[in-house]
Amino acid sequence: MSVNPSVWSSRFGFLMASIGFAVGLGNIWRFPYVVGENGGSIFIVIYLCCVFFIGVPILMAEIMLGRRGAASPEQAIKNVAVESSCSPRWSAVGYLNLLTSFLIVFVYSVVAGWVLYYFYQSLMASFSGTNLLDQLGSFEDLQSDVRTMVFWSFAALAITGSILVFGVQKGIERAVVALIPAMVVLLVFLVFFNLLNGGMQEALEFMFIPDFSVINGSVFLAAVSQAFFSIGVAMGGMMIFGSYLPSNVSIAKSALIIVSADTLIALLAGLVIFPLVFENGLMPDSGTGLIFDTLPLGFAQMPAGYWIAVLFFMLLGFAAISSMVGFIEPLVAFLINRFDLSRLSATLLVTAICLCFSLLSALSMGPWNGLELFGQSLAGWLDFVPNSVLLPLGGLMICVFAGWVMNSKFSQAELNMKSSNAFHLWRSSTKWLVAPAVFIILIAGVFP
């Protein structure tokens, strides 16, 4: 009996792909600096509550819709809607997810390009003997050098495309089964390095001893937003991965594993970065430049800093590529399903279009940095629209569709939980807990 190459050959392959998509730069780059900006431990406490009570139900919903619809996001939603005797226009939710993924990936590809550029610089020992002013200037120079940013964005897209062109089993699954365990091994190694090198006690206190005096509404909303975005829902990736999932694999157990692994890796990333920050007298609330501005200074001042820098940016590169696979695969699947293109043609077309739009993103960070539309920079709009509007809107619509529109007998059959009480708990939480929470995120993002 032949194995269908358009489905995962194993549950492990699906989990590695989903974990890789969820983790990405959001957990290793974004999570530490958001923790640093929002008071450390109390942010993490709120984040952990939100990621399990909000993240798990919506992740289950998206994977379930993908497997039930068995197609690219827009067609999967349409299939489930028609099966539930509802309007096929619900496919708009899938199109919204695809648009969100597209808008995110051409900005994300530039950031992934930064990572590859810094990995190259670490190999060339460019951080040896650097000082803070030099390093700050280096990152600013990179942001103003459009050619360099586009070149490294192309490199990130080319690596991603070379994985996707081989399909589900030979491309995505084979790559993530190697990348994700390697990423975890590198994280654990760097944590043990910090145990020996110093700064770990301060990091543990900062991350795990709650300081309730710093809690406020903005910290709570930041934690809810990070919990929602870090799992990777409402971007089509989890839905398309779900469409490749065999029917005998438990969605509920898989969702718990994905969210648990995503959270563990985020915490490990904090234990990698914050000890380096504290041991070298740097500031944990350095914002988006924490990794690109300040950590290279720490690498230059520490023992074996050359090798630690190489390993760290290799780790970050793995995270970036594994997420880009999840961003671009839904777009490739859409072209294959809608226009009957070959996987090679669809992959080349998507990566070429993303490269063209990454030029716009690079220009918005460099020469067009001062360009404003309605009082906001172009780079600000490119971040605001997909992350603060489309992502929560897409997540809200997934909750509404899965909780209120989809026929409950189909969702119960697809989730196949051993206990009917567990199913009703999931459905109720999706309708009455997750949907309102995501709505609050949407309103808070649009009207901060």
Any domain includes 24: yes
- Per-residue pLDDT, 2: 36
- Per-residue pLDDT, 131: 59
Any domain includes 441: yes
Please tell me the distance from the alpha carbon of residue 99 to that of residue 235, in angstroms, as a whole number: 8
Mean pLDDT by 10 residues, the chain (448 residues): 66 94 83 86 90 92 97 96 97 97 93 94 77 64 90 97 94 92 89 88 91 78 77 92 94 96 92 86 74 76 82 90 95 95 96 95 87 86 88 94 96 93 96 91 82
Q: What's the structural domain count of the chain?
A: 1
Domain of 177 in residue numbering reads as: 11-446
Any domain includes 2: no
Any domain includes 3: no
Any domain includes 4: no
- Per-residue pLDDT, 100: 95
Any domain includes 391: yes
Please tell me the distance from the alpha carbon of residue 158 to that of residue 136, in angstroms, as a whole number: 28
CATH code: domain of residue 343: 1.10.4160
Any domain includes 382: yes
pTM to 2 decimal places: 0.93
- Per-residue pLDDT, 437: 86
- Per-residue pLDDT, 137: 63
Any domain includes 6: no
